[in-house]
Chain A
């Protein structure tokens, strides 16, 4: 297919590449499963209040008479210590959990990657030193301190927990980008670009970055889960979504003490966390497999 006004050489490869990638992606049933799960989760989160059987239970609601009910037809995931339906709370909590993950990545990844690119390409100059030392400084601060300090400056809400985790997260991306860039800088195509006289910024964005994307995507999809797990660990010490709003993390941490008798209080939310992470992992792997073939 030729687009008017462009040379055939440029138009074809892009479109063909996209089609090829999709076929490659779709050929692996696991990847499709991952995509399906992620889409389902996003839809469920978006329409949580419509889908949930007891949407009011996700807000201020008490029914002690019905507390600690095991899973039944009436309450598919049972009820918690306040008598609230766990399934409904899981669906609403899904929103917050996804939001925390996205927020942390949205804040952390661009800043981290940028730092890593800049430092990596200007390696062995003062730019490299300053940026990487700055990265080291941040990485050396335990994420909990950072998150606590951030929360202490404002309130212990989940938004500031996200900022806190993002502040601790970006160095990992900077570091990973840096190592990748360092190795990739010696690849042939970069050398060619340099020989051609391309500017450093152009090289970084056009040549190096696209090839750094695939491990980046794998890491990002893996990270969704880890971030959600970290945020849930923060709930253990009281940082996160304020009650009565549900978040998967606070539901799991709140339910741990009721094991083994009232196992459903933490097991179901934990299973949902597992599902989220599973979905993103499968998706990420599918993407990664797609990009790997390109490198031949």
Chain B
């Protein structure tokens, strides 16, 4: 009798404990991913979700994004600097229960290269062949050494080959591979990460659920489900945060909104530096900014302190490379506001005395945080040295239209550009190489053969120290000789969150070096 009673008590007690409600984290994002396919996406919003769904050969460390073992336990580079061999960990399972093997890694790389979208440009023309040495060893053969290769692997999500192959659509652009699973991976996941996809409504919301069988083990304190809702509207965000309906707001709020959010009881703001800078990108092929003296004058006339007052808590930038990224050159003095030096430069320009005949268009994308304020300040600054500025606020589609050709691109655009992998080459190539013109990332239209040759050389340098030296020279060349951009500050994400609901590394002052990886929810701890 007693035994039954004890059992019943234990049973009831167990039920009571086991019957805990599941924890749900409500967050907002500026936009949902375009797709859940790692071979296709390339934006911050995509990666915030994908870091949860997929695993990578190597994983960036918190402090400085240096490669740590993840799917790959160890790796080595052959003496010719062209062959990388990775030894995979045993026992990693995809969400559908099947094992992750070298076949899947090869499939992921081949697929990314063939499709050619997203970050494929890291590997296209560089990765000659991927070989499965044995089920737990894979080798990449590069056509030339590629210095940053290891860190680009942070963006190669490993997809489940069997699952994707089973879900191909016959009609597609990829011959026998049909649509290569693009349709399937639009809103389904074929990953092995700490979370799996529950529901994806494009442009509306994403819902992910914890993967209890994650190979690294996942804590019970991590949220069981995370719902990310697309919400840019400031008034609604403030209301929802105040009523407790959302726990974590996206990090790109306008200053005034952020202050209101911060004022709510229990809400704090985390600071997450991004590998991204705010640039004033100056067209180098349109008068009057085609004259380097005019550009330098502009750099000397900009009120950097004023801009830092608009975007508080952001460190000043003196180089196109973000300061936390490998290859950053800290030796550059850069520019400060100095009207005398500005006028000196201006006087050396061939346009001096006729500046009123050459108005400058400064353009930015509408609805992009506090950038209008920056541009307004910039316009005031330029007026101080006699340059006439027309401000052009354009919706994104019109902005992109203009960027497509050299004639229609405005004189100056103000945008954030970021490094897609933690190596100076990423941003230097993106911003200044001739093969990246025609998009919003490069309004400079630099098209400089010296630079092109130098950046390509730097990228194939395998030895880190040598590469860093080459990057340093490139940065000096850009900043001191060419001055095609004005570097203002490093971008910092400032997500407001309910500190009384959960804690996370970023909130504890320990943000991950790569911004999107802060949103790996396995590191979150729900409170109470």
* A positions within 8 Å CB-CB of B: 60-62, 64, 68, 81-82, 151-152, 155-156, 237-239, 242-244, 256-262
Q: Binary interface profile of B, 379-416, with partner A (CB < 8 Å = 1, else 0)? A: 11001000001111111011001000000000000000
Contact of A242 among B254, B309, B392 (CB under 8 A): B392
Q: What A residues does B233 contact at CB under 8 A?
A: 257
Is B391 a contact of A259 with CB atoms below 8 Å?
no
A215 to chain B, nearest CB (A): 37
Is B379 a contact of A152 with CB atoms below 8 Å?
no
The docked-state distance in angstroms from the alpha carbon of A156 to that of B383 is 23
Closest to B381 in A: A62
Q: How many residues in B have their beta carbons less than 8 Å from beta carbons of A?
A: 29
Closest to B391 in A: A243
B372 within 8 A of A: yes
Most buried by B among A61, A64, A243, A256: A243
Is A243 a contact of B256 with CB atoms below 8 Å?
no
Interface of chain A, main secondary structure: loop
Is B391 a contact of A64 with CB atoms below 8 Å?
no
The docked-state distance in angstroms from the alpha carbon of A21 to that of B346 is 67
A240 to chain B, nearest CB (A): 9
| Closest A-B pairs by Cβ, 9 of them | A238-B366, A257-B234, A238-B395, A243-B391, A259-B235, A62-B380, A237-B395, A60-B379, A261-B260
The docked-state distance in angstroms from the alpha carbon of A211 to that of B127 is 79
12 CB-based A-B contacts, threshold 8 Å: A60-B376, A60-B389, A82-B373, A151-B398, A152-B398, A238-B366, A238-B367, A238-B393, A239-B395, A257-B256, A257-B257, A261-B256
Q: What A residues does B377 contact at CB under 8 A?
A: 62
B163 within 8 A of A: no
B209 within 8 A of A: no
B24 within 8 A of A: no
B389 to chain A, nearest CB (A): 8
Is B393 a contact of A242 with CB atoms below 8 Å?
yes
Given A60-B376, A62-B376, A64-B373, 6 more pairs with CB closer than 8 A: A60-B380, A61-B380, A237-B395, A243-B372, A244-B376, A257-B235
A72 to chain B, nearest CB (A): 19
Q: Binary interface profile of B, 235-249, with partner A (CB < 8 Å = 1, else 0)? A: 100000000000000
- Beta-carbon contacts under 8 Å, B308-355 to A: 309-310
The docked-state distance in angstroms from the alpha carbon of A258 to that of B380 is 24
Q: What B residues does A256 contact at CB under 8 A?
A: 234-235
The docked-state distance in angstroms from the alpha carbon of A259 to that of B260 is 10
Q: Binary interface profile of B, 147-180, with partner A (CB < 8 Å = 1, else 0)? A: 0000000000000000000000000000000000
The docked-state distance in angstroms from the alpha carbon of A243 to that of B394 is 11
Is B398 a contact of A262 with CB atoms below 8 Å?
no
Is A243 a contact of B393 with CB atoms below 8 Å?
yes
Closest to A239 in B: B395
Q: What A residues does B367 contact at CB under 8 A?
A: 238
Q: What B residues does A82 contact at CB under 8 A?
A: 373, 376
The docked-state distance in angstroms from the alpha carbon of A152 to that of B399 is 10
The docked-state distance in angstroms from the alpha carbon of A239 to that of B393 is 8
B401 to chain A, nearest CB (A): 7
Most buried by B among A64, A256, A257, A259: A257
Is B393 a contact of A156 with CB atoms below 8 Å?
yes
The docked-state distance in angstroms from the alpha carbon of A64 to that of B366 is 21
Q: What A residues does B379 contact at CB under 8 A?
A: 60, 244
The docked-state distance in angstroms from the alpha carbon of A155 to that of B234 is 28
Closest to A155 in B: B392
Closest to A68 in B: B256
Q: What B residues does A62 contact at CB under 8 A?
A: 376-377, 380
Q: What A residues does B306 contact at CB under 8 A?
A: 64
Is B390 a contact of A156 with CB atoms below 8 Å?
no
Most buried by B among A62, A68, A152, A262: A62
A71 to chain B, nearest CB (A): 17
The docked-state distance in angstroms from the alpha carbon of A239 to that of B397 is 12
Is A64 a contact of B310 with CB atoms below 8 Å?
yes
Q: What B residues does A151 contact at CB under 8 A?
A: 398
The docked-state distance in angstroms from the alpha carbon of A60 to that of B260 is 27
The docked-state distance in angstroms from the alpha carbon of A150 to that of B256 is 34
Is B256 a contact of A156 with CB atoms below 8 Å?
no
The docked-state distance in angstroms from the alpha carbon of A238 to that of B383 is 24
